[in-house]
Amino acid sequence: MSTQNVRALLFADDDMADVMILSGFVQLMDDDIVSLIALTLIADPGSTRYPENVCIYQLTLSLYLMTQCQLKLRDSVTSLAQTLDNIEVAEERNPTERRLDHLTLKLIERKVVIYLINSRPRPMQSSLCLL
């Protein structure tokens, strides 16, 4: 579902829809997203006075969920490379003041890159047996 949502939203001409981060829903989110929300609130404590500042684009959240699924399911390198391209497009569409969106996109980009580095084949080490 997240993949279909990303495809539909990535190149849509409409304004991107916001997902409000309400305090009651934070406990349902995973640790990474909760940490990013806390980081944005620490960096700008006044943002809690303006609820529109504590939100994330639907595209960003869908990319995050899609990437988490891909990593857990050990998706192909080709699919993950496409995800990196999608992240780049999403970053270009985000206004600079959208801290939570930018942090989330950087987080998922880093997760994919680390996964790709750790999953690449390693050269076999030869062992010498001396008798």
**CA angle (35, 37, 41) in 5-degree steps:** 115
Beta-carbon count within 10 A of 32 CB: 15
Share of residues in the chain with pLDDT > 90 (%): 37
- Name the helix (H) or strand (E) containing 57: strand 55-57
Q: pLDDT tens-digit profile of 57-93?
A: 999 999 999 999 999 999 899 999 999 999 999 999 8
| pTM across the whole model | 0.80
Question: Which backbone phi and psi does 19 adopt, to 5 degrees?
Answer: -115, 115
pLDDT (average), residues 5-20 = 81
